[in-house]
Structure 1
Amino acid sequence: MANADGTWDCVTKTPMGDQKSVFTIVTNGDTFSGTNEGPAGAMEVQDGKVDGNTLTWTMKMKMPPITMEATATVDGDTLNGSAKVGPFGTMQMAGTRRA
């Protein structure tokens, strides 16, 4: 299992351009919790699961009100994945763990 705990500086490629956020991850066995804070506010991780070095979770966006389904792979201090955001499609995301 990869160590995903920590604070990550992330960028998600959206139709509105690159969106920066700070993703906080706290693992507990095969589950995790956390928040993703960006320009639109903070979103809580829901149903966070850890499977080896792969994380899966959902988050509820407030505006527009959409559930985002995400998956990411942790490799050392990098995180790469994607988020399916309703009618907006799938968006690529990448992150670097803060020291």
Structure 2
Amino acid sequence: MSDPIEGIWDCVTVASFGTQESVFTIVRDGDTFSGTNIADVGELEVQDGRIEGHRLTWKMPTTKPMKMTLVGKAIVNDGKLEGVVMLGAFGKATMSGVKRG
């Protein structure tokens, strides 16, 4: 049986200033994970990824449009990901995704 969390996720993030599609890759290591989130604005590296049951939390440093650390929280259930990303001074965005495969 495959891991319900690890894998490649096709995601959409919706913020007040627009919508962005991305490919979120999760590489699990017990109750932690690493990976990347790749979108039109570039590739963001996952840091401090944690897994508690079906709940995920992570950080992603970015320099676009300014230097800040994005903070994500999501729940994974039946091949779907639903969560929020805190965008520093830009508020928050909703994030949803579907697991490939």
Whether TM-score is above 0.5 comes out as: yes
TM range (shorter): over 0.9
> What's the counterpart of residue 37 of structure 1?
38
Matched, 1:5 2:11: no
Aligned match for 1:82, one of 59, 69, 84: 84
Distance (whole Å) between structure 2 residues aligned to residue 40 and residue 77 of structure 1: 25
Partner of 1:25: 26
Which segments of 5 or more consecutive residues in structure 1 lack a partner in the other structure? none
Question: Deviation digits for residues 5-64 of structure 1, max 9, x if unmatched?
Answer: 110000000233110000000111110000000011000000000000000000011212
User: Which runs of 4 or more aligned residues in structure 1 lie more than 6 Å from their structure 2 counterparts after TM superposition?
Assistant: none
Question: Which residue number corresponds to residue 50 of structure 1?
Answer: 51
Q: Does residue 66 of structure 1 match 2:40? A: no
Give the AA of the match of 2:60: M
Does structure 1 retain, via aligned residues, the 8 Å contact 2:4–2:79? no
Aligned CA RMSD, in angstroms, stands at 1.0
Q: Aligned partner of 1:33: which letter?
A: S
Q: Corresponding residue for 1:96?
A: 98
Q: Calculate percent identity across the aligned residue pairs.
A: 45
> How many residues were matched structurally?
98
